[in-house]
Amino acid sequence: MSSRSVIHDTFTIERTYPVSPERVFSAFASVEAKNVWGDTGNLEGVDDELGATEFDFRAGGRERFAVKMDGVTFRYDALYYDIVPNERIVYAYEMYANDVRISVSVTTIQFVEMDGGTAFTYTELGVYLDGFDGAEAPRFRQEGTTEMIDNLKNYLAPNSIFELHDAD
**pLDDT, tens digit, 9 for 90 and up, residues 72-84:** 888 999 999 999 9
Pairing of strands 46-47, 51-52: antiparallel
Domain assignments of the chain as residue spans, ordered by start: 6-156
Q: Do 36 and 155 touch, CB atoms closer than 8 A? A: yes
Cβ distance 76 to 95 under 8 Å? yes
- Per the CB < 8 A criterion, the answer to whether 142 and 150 are in contact is no
What amino acid occupies position 72? V
CB 14 within 8 A of CB 120: yes
Residues 14-34 have pLDDT tens digits of 999 999 999 999 999 998 888
CATH of domain 6-156: 3.30.530.20
Q: How confident is the model at residue 116 (pLDDT cuts 50, 70, 90)?
A: confident
Sign of torsion over alpha carbons 31, 32, 33, 38: positive
The residues pairing with 51 across neighbouring beta strands, listed in sequence order, are 47
- Give residue 115's Cα distance to chain centre: 26
Name the region of 27 (left: φ>0; alpha: ψ -120 to 50; beta: rest). Answer: alpha
Higher-confidence residue: 86 or 135?
Answer: 86
> Helix crossing, 137-156 with 21-29: angle to 10°?
120
Query: Do 145 and 139 contact (CB within 8 A), yes or no?
Result: no
CA-CA distance, 23 to 29, in Å (whole number)? Answer: 10
- 3-state secondary structure at position 28: helix
Q: What is the pLDDT of residues 26-67, one digit of tens each?
A: 999 998 888 888 765 555 555 656 667 889 999 999 999 888
138: three-class secondary structure by DSSP: helix
C-alpha 85: how far from its chain's center?
Answer: 17
